[in-house]
Amino acid sequence: MALSRFFEKTETVVMPSSIKTDPDGFEFFASLLKQTARRQTFILDFKNVVWIEANLCAVLGCIIHYGKESGNSFEIINLPKDGYIKNTITNNGFMTLVLNSPRPKRRSTGILFRSFDMKNEDEVEAYIYEYVLNSKRVPRMTALAKKKVYRSIFEIYQNSVMHSKADRIFVCGQYYPGKGKMALTMVELGRSFKDNVSQHDPRFKDYSGCEAIEWAVETGNTTKPKNETGGLGLDLIRDFLKMNEGKL
């Protein structure tokens, strides 16, 4: 063992027992992002984890990626040798992309975990078509509905490019065939809704993050320059999800 490694600071993060797409899940990831801002080795301990929603690998992968860019290193311990948790974060490519573990060649209901350069529009478009629109596991919908869903998802990506100023976007998802459900997460660590909306107009300078998002998803609202249209993507996909008992 190298001497520098011997004296390197190490911190263990015990992952929560259930990691879901809910306020508690996002509160944990916000705390983890802040915690991993320090330069050291972080050991992510999965000993208590009994459930993790696979789409959230996008958030965890994003945190690990930028942590490693800042000089941190990450280890994952106490994954059960077999079972749901290990299969979930292995079969969707998370362990391969983040920790260089081999990805088994087996069928999976996970939507592949990917990281894209924000400028690589063609790759993002191909990903959406392959895993969101053309997959046999996607819930049935009309050609017109598919077109609207694609337009909405792609505008979310384009909004990230324009407004967040981030350099990469991370995407992952999961099909739930028994429920006729698909979960998809896109995440980046750029400027927030609150930053953009509060600086767009003096009337919104005291908006909370929640108020900024509510304003942004209203039809026609946009922080783009006055001569540019905008504000349709989130509104369209929110209405589509509401009709299909989904959520944004």
Distances (CA, A) of 183 to 23, 54, 55, 239, 241: 16, 9, 6, 16, 11
Alpha helices in the chain (DSSP H): 3-6, 23-35, 57-69, 84-91, 94-99, 121-127, 143-159, 193-200, 209-216, 233-243
- Identify the bridge partners of residue 75 per DSSP, sorted by sequence position: 43
- Among 174, 42, 12, which Cα is nearest to 109's? 174
Q: How far is residue 135's CA from residue 112's CA, in Å, rounded to a whole number? A: 12
Q: What would the mean pLDDT of 12-20 be, rounded to a whole number?
A: 96
Three-state DSSP at 49 gives: coil
Tell me, what's the pLDDT at 237? 66
Tell me, what's the pLDDT at 227? 52
Higher pLDDT among residues 64 and 233, named by residue:
64
Higher pLDDT among residues 59 and 151, named by residue:
59
Tell me, what's the pLDDT at 172? 93
Q: What would the mean pLDDT of 78-84 be, rounded to a whole number?
A: 82
Q: Where are the domains of the chain?
A: 9-191
Residues 197-240 pLDDT 10s? 888 888 888 999 889 888 877 777 777 766 555 545 566 667 76
- Among 103, 114, 94, which Cα is nearest to 187's? 114
Residues 157-198 pLDDT 10s? 777 777 788 889 999 999 888 887 888 899 998 888 888 888
Tell me, what's the pLDDT at 2? 47
Name the phi and psi angles at 40, rounded to 5.
-175, -170
Tell me, what's the pLDDT at 116? 92
| Percent residues over pLDDT 70 in the chain | 84
CB atoms within 10 A of CB 127: 18
pTM across the whole model: 0.83
For the chain, how big is the Rg over CA atoms in Å? Answer: 19
Q: 173: burial class by Cβ within 10 Å (0-12, 13-18, 19+)? A: buried
Tell me, what's the pLDDT at 54? 93
Q: What would the mean pLDDT of 55-79 be, rounded to a whole number?
A: 93
Measured N-to-C along each axis, helices 23-35 and 57-69 cross at an angle, to the nearest 10 degrees, of 10
Distances (CA, A) of 243 to 145, 155, 218: 12, 20, 17
Residues 31-50 pLDDT 10s? 999 999 988 999 999 999 99
Give the range among 86-95, 147-156, 203-212 with minimum mean pLDDT: 147-156
Reported residue count of the chain is: 248
Q: How far is residue 95's CA from residue 165's CA, in Å, rounded to a whole number? A: 27
Tell me, what's the pLDDT at 229? 54
Tell me, what's the pLDDT at 103? 65
| Percent residues over pLDDT 90 in the chain | 33
Q: Is pLDDT of 55 > 90?
A: yes
Higher pLDDT among residues 125 and 3, named by residue:
125
Q: For the chain, how are helix, strand and coil distributed in percent, rounded to 5?
A: 45, 15, 35
Tell me, what's the pLDDT at 57? 95
Measured N-to-C along each axis, helices 209-216 and 193-200 cross at an angle, to the nearest 10 degrees, of 70
Sign of the torsion angle spanned by Cα atoms 84, 37, 168, 102: negative
Q: What is the mean pLDDT of the chain?
A: 82
